[in-house]
């Protein structure tokens, strides 16, 4: 069974967050982890977009291609790794209310 891990930012990471646009409040999750689906994607997935509700959750499965791997080290010795993924295939299993979703992380 796949164990889901929370990607929520801790308080220190929220203070260091840089976003591509000004925000009055710092986000709870990294900007780059957000994806957007339009009516065109819903049509490809065979899902009625009217079933999407704010606060609801979805089960999705994705296949992504690694487009970039970058390992860096600054003069202070801190190391960082950044891997960029391009989602190429996507399936949405179902839409559920968040209350119905068991805690997995």
pLDDT, one tens digit for every residue, the chain (105 residues): 667 778 888 877 776 655 555 555 666 777 778 888 888 988 898 888 888 888 888 888 889 999 999 999 999 999 988 888 888 898 888 777 555 555 554
How far, in Å, CA of 77 to CA of 39, rounded? 46
Q: For 82, phi and psi rounded to 5 degrees?
A: -130, 125
pTM of the model: 0.61
Q: Which phi-psi region, left, alpha or beta, contains residue 34 (left: φ > 0; alpha: ψ -120 to 50)? A: beta
């Amino acid at each position: 069974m796949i164990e889901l891990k929370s990607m929520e930012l801790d308080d220190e990471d929220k203070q260091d967050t840089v976003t591509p646009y000004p925000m009055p409040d710092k986000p709870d999750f990294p900007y780059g982890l957000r994806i957007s689906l339009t009516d065109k994607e819903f049509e490809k997935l065979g899902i009625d977009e009217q079933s999407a509700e704010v606060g609801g959750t979805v089960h999705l499965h994705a296949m992504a291609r690694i487009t970039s791997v970058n390992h860096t080290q600054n003069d202070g010795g801190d190391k960082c790794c950044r891997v960029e993924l391009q989602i190429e295939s996507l399936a949405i299993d179902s839409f559920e209310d968040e209350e119905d979703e068991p805690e997995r992380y």
